[in-house]
Amino acid sequence: MTGRTKGWNVDTDSEDLLKEFVAESSENLSAIEQTLLGLETNRSSKDVDEIFRAIHSVKGAAGFFQLTAIERVGHNAETVLEKIRSNDIPVTADIIDILLRTRDTLSNMLFAPDFGNDLDTDDLVAELKYAWSGHSDTAQTVPDEKGFPANNDIEKKTDEKEEDSPVTREIVKREDAKVTAGHADTTANPGPLSNGAEKSTIRIGVDVLDKLLELIGEVVLGRNQFLTKYERDKPFQALSQSITKLHQHVIQIRMQPIGDLFNKYKRTVRDLSRDLGKKIELHIDGGELELDRTILEAFSDPLTHLVRNAVDHGIEKPGERSNSGKGILGNLYLRARHESGQILIEVEDDGKGIHPDVIRARAIEKKLVTEAEAGLISDKDVIHFIFHPGFSTHEHPTTLSGRGVGMDVVRNNLEKIGCMVDISSKPEKGTLIQARIPLTQAIVNSSVIAGLIINIGSYTLAIPQVAVNEVITLSPDVEMQQIARIKDQEVFKLRDKLIPLVHLEDILEIPRTYISSDGQKSQDRRQSFVDRRLGVPRSEAPKNRNQRTGANRRKNNLIFIVLQFKQNYFGVLVDRITGKEEIVVKRLPQLIKHRRVFAGSTILGNGKVALILDINGLVEKAALNFSRQQETHHQAARRVMQDDKQQVVVFNYAPEEYFAVPVNLLSEIDKFKIKDVKKVGNREFIQRHGKSMPLLRLDKALDVSPLETTKEELIFLVPSRIKYPTGIVGCRIITHIELTENLNTKEADENGIMGTFFHNDELITLLDIFTLLQKFDPKRYHKKLSNNIEQCRILLAEDQTFFRQLIVQYFKSYGIKNITVCKNGKEALHALIAKPDGFDIVVSDIEMPVMDGYQLVSTIKTDPRLRDIPAMALTSLNSEENIKKGIDAGFDAYEVKLDKDRVLHRISELYATNKTNPRNA
């Protein structure tokens, strides 16, 4: 500051006061920007007074320091505001423009090397004079070294409403001292700086806060090392709680509401929309959410670019919006909220959106993809090309922004702080950009978080507790039943979901180990848990009879930890959980700073150093694609059935008799002990999840051999999507395989067999579990349908052979014989056009080649010849988003594969409705 005060009569004692003046004036000027913007739409005398006091304070204190340039601009702005206060001039957009530029100029002058003395402010002063007088050459006394002449009326009104700020009190104190000494400067007229009631505040440098946080972090580390020894000591417990509270308060000092950042864009939106001739309103939601200041600073530039993009290229001009049926006022939304252990920040507009075909064409033009490849990319995915460096759909990008130009920089800058960026858009509806940052990334050095301490081999690691969804203990035999393999990804069967399984040893690049039956630790050479089960032809069986099974090669239990990432889940296998602990996050050593699987390091209570796992990094390193892997049984099966492949679980009942059930039709597989079975007449029950569950033995429903009576433990398989859970009994799980062979449906019957197939010389019977249930408990599973449903003419669009056969068989079991089958939406549409009156109901899958279900039904509903035909979606996609999309596209019903009873009842309802349609009368 010393270099800036040369030439002024400022002593050493006054230099600190000058620093305080700059800081306080800067805060006041920053605060009135939002007030000025609000004044444009809602004039309030209170707001005018607030702005006036801030400008008056800056001018008055500047006079004390003889900063004549600042004083001159402030004096004229003060006069404009006084005219507004007295209703002599109206508040217009032009007046607000001038006052905003005045605020900007004063802010710049405060930090200029010479406090703006060399800055040309004549044009601004002339505009201010014109604003309050009506012309720019109004006589104005030129300020001398003693400052501007005071406007006594203004001073009086101001002084009546204000209390002095610390700077003003000090100035007045020094002036009083000068008067007492006989050296008073009677022209000095400092104004108060405070904004209403004085706040008890103190300014502390950021470096001081960082050091304080680091020191309190060390205190927490020391406390942790005494926890085990003194955890029952009451004085120590009180001290421990105080340390935790102290740390939380220090962290809180560094936190700032994200509204401080969001509010800055009110000015950006206002100025840009005025320049572009648009009417745009900015909506802010979640401004109270607090983040560390370093995170807010990192968000500033990317959000600025996104806001400018939305205003410039996203939201249309009033005429365009009116022509497209929208209101002339465009809307831009900035939102922030906590969601599933993450901080979600959204930028959304209701503009013209991004047209996928335009993006697709430009990607082909720039040779990013071939025309054939572009045709295979979904509309949602193709939009992500805008993140490609230099990608733009505009021939002549503006100086403001270009949607796509610089978007790669936006994403890169956000990803540097651990953000995941996503974009979605609907043509003529708008665009939504989401940035998600895990709470583990939003933490700063020396923060304290709750951690789950785990062991992998000889390594100790910590997982942020906020990311842990649940913990499951796996015995070796259960491990084999719960873990399956779908294509190149191992998955864990968690109730009605299949979630990806990640081996931490592979991620950390350390060898896998296991504890053998003799207690020795050995290297595990298996590439997956799903191996050596019914995978060897009978001719080779003898040399494999002594092969170790998963149960006897591994003695120790494993711990399966389910982690949450966004709205998805995945799991990791660990050897042991040693406990939970409050851990102090430390920066990674330089040597491993590049390893994104780690969020930081910590020192545990036992003195050991542990690395903290980063959930984002784990997902990235494991290359998990949740759009394909985080799915229910139904969705997962639908994905792996490419090329007519269907995933099935194979189990045996009697020796040498094997049965299979589609994986996607099961919700649970587990063991039970014979001694736990309770009988009621001829029926058997076990207790499951606190309720009784009936057991279905295959030899009671089918012509198969009975179970071995010497078994003490059996398995059960529970079908998914049924109202009354029933366990289908088996002897043991053999394997999971892809059903690639042609299914022999000639062996199908109405008792519960869909067909048979061979695998490695073994004959396997594929069960129709819903027919089995109907036969087992007809009162519950077989209900009467509407009359004459046998006459219903159904058009089925389904691309997968397995489901085509299954659905057709279900329809025929209820007497429906008139079924036309198509392999994709395009074939179905051609069939409908050829015979518009030939079908009563259309049943369609969603994901199909050539033309999907959404496209098919939207085409049907826009064709006058076809729009009255009821359409039902029958799909594996069961999210609320997919269901809403299906109904919006035009489906009259939406059902998930495959609850036979529910599907057929919905068919019955639609058929009854269609019969009353005038076109069928």
Q: What is the 3-state secondary structure (H, E, C) of 579-640?
A: EEEEEECECCCHHHCCCCCEEEEEECCCCCEEEEECHHHHHHHHCCCHHHHCEEHHHHHHHH
pLDDT at 547: 45
| Distance between CA atoms of residues 822 and 851, nearest Å | 12
| Distance between CA atoms of residues 562 and 572, nearest Å | 7
User: Is residue 739 a contact partner of residue 659, using CB atoms and an 8 Å limit?
Assistant: no
User: Is residue 908 a contact partner of residue 785, using CB atoms and an 8 Å limit?
Assistant: yes
Helix axes 880-889, 853-862, angle to 10 degrees: 30
pLDDT at 556: 58
User: Is residue 558 a contact partner of residue 474, using CB atoms and an 8 Å limit?
Assistant: yes
pLDDT at 477: 55
438: which strand partners?
A: 342
Q: Is the pLDDT of residue 415 over 90?
A: no
Q: Is the pLDDT of residue 834 over 50?
A: yes
Helix axes 122-133, 93-111, angle to 10 degrees: 140
User: Is residue 346 a contact partner of residue 434, using CB atoms and an 8 Å limit?
Assistant: yes
User: Is residue 59 a contact partner of residue 19, using CB atoms and an 8 Å limit?
Assistant: no
In this prediction, residue 794 has a pLDDT band, given cuts at 50, 70 and 90, of: very high
Q: What is the mean pLDDT of residues 244-251?
A: 82
Give pLDDT tens digits for 634-686: 344 334 333 345 678 889 898 889 999 887 778 788 888 899 999 998 889 99
Q: What is the 3-state secondary structure (H, E, C) of 675-719?
A: HHCEEECCEEEEEECCEEEEEECHHHHCCCCCCCCCCCEEEEEEE
Min mean pLDDT across 240-244, 434-438, 640-644 is at: 640-644
Pairing of strands 483-486, 489-494: antiparallel
881: left (phi over 0), alpha (psi -120 to 50) or beta: alpha
The rounded percent of the chain whose pLDDT value lies above 90 is 12
Min mean pLDDT across 342-346, 552-556, 592-596, 732-736 is at: 552-556
pLDDT at 191: 39
Min mean pLDDT across 51-60, 162-171, 568-577, 733-742 is at: 162-171
pLDDT at 315: 92
Tell me which residue of 596, 295, 567, 615 sits closest to 451, measured CA to CA.
615
pLDDT at 476: 60
Give pLDDT tens digits for 887-896: 988 999 998 8
pLDDT at 783: 54
Higher pLDDT, 170 or 746: 746
Sign of CA dihedral 831, 834, 840, 841: positive
Sign of CA dihedral 744, 749, 750, 753: negative
User: Is residue 783 a contact partner of residue 900, using CB atoms and an 8 Å limit?
Assistant: no
568: which strand partners?
A: 565
pLDDT at 481: 59
In this prediction, residue 548 has a pLDDT band, given cuts at 50, 70 and 90, of: very low
| Distance between CA atoms of residues 2 and 12, nearest Å | 9
**How many helical (H) and strand (E) elements, i.e. helices and strands, does the chain have?**
31, 37
Q: Output the six-digit token pair for 540.
A: 């080779």
Sign of CA dihedral 393, 395, 401, 407: positive
Q: Is the pLDDT of residue 533 over 80?
A: no
**Measuring CA to CA, how many Å separate 778 from each of 342, 681, 696, 730, 783?**
48, 17, 13, 22, 8
pLDDT at 635: 40
| Distance between CA atoms of residues 636 and 492, nearest Å | 12
Q: What is the mean pLDDT of residues 555-563?
A: 76
36-57 exposure pattern, b = at least 16 Cβ within 10 A, e = fewer: bbebbeeeeeebbbbbbbbbbb
Min mean pLDDT across 175-184, 581-590, 686-695, 852-861 is at: 175-184
Mean pLDDT score across all residues of the chain? 77
Q: What is the mean pLDDT of residues 692-708?
A: 88
Give pLDDT tens digits for 752-793: 888 888 887 888 898 888 778 877 877 776 655 555 778 889
In this prediction, residue 197 has a pLDDT band, given cuts at 50, 70 and 90, of: very low
Min mean pLDDT across 200-209, 294-303, 373-382, 547-556 is at: 547-556
Q: What is the mean pLDDT of residues 41-47?
A: 79
Question: Which of 471-475, 809-813, 870-874 is most confident?
Answer: 870-874
Q: Is the pLDDT of residue 333 over 90?
A: yes
Question: Would you call 339 exposed, middle or buried from its count of C-beta atoms within 10 A (0-12, 13-18, 19+)?
Answer: exposed
In this prediction, residue 184 has a pLDDT band, given cuts at 50, 70 and 90, of: very low
Beta strands in 188-288 (DSSP E): 255-257, 280-285
Q: Write phi, then psi, for 859 (nearest 5 degrees).
A: -70, -40
| Distance between CA atoms of residues 266 and 282, nearest Å | 7
Sequence-distant (6+) residues with CB within 8 A of 796 are: 804, 807, 808, 819, 820, 821, 822, 843, 844
Q: Is the pLDDT of residue 151 over 70?
A: no
Tally of residues, the chain: 921
The rounded percent of the chain whose pLDDT value lies above 70 is 76
Half-sphere exposure of 379 (CA within 13 A, CB side): 13
CA diameter of the chain: 119
Give pLDDT tens digits for 81-102: 888 888 888 888 888 888 888 8
| Distance between CA atoms of residues 426 and 91, nearest Å | 39
pLDDT at 534: 40
Q: Is the pLDDT of residue 367 over 90?
A: no
Q: What is the residue-wise DSSP string for 100-163?
A: HHHHHHHHHHHHSTTTTTTS--HHHHHHHHHHHHSSTT---PPPBTTBPPP-HHHHHHHHHH--
Q: Output the six-digit token pair for 396.
A: 């002549």
pLDDT at 82: 86
pLDDT at 168: 56
Strand order in the sheet with 342-349: 280-285, 330-339, 342-349, 430-438, 420-426
| Distance between CA atoms of residues 909 and 906, nearest Å | 5
868-900 exposure pattern, b = at least 16 Cβ within 10 A, e = fewer: ebbbbbbbbbbeeebbebbeebbbbbbbbbbbb
Q: Is the pLDDT of residue 846 over 60?
A: yes
In this prediction, residue 631 has a pLDDT band, given cuts at 50, 70 and 90, of: very low
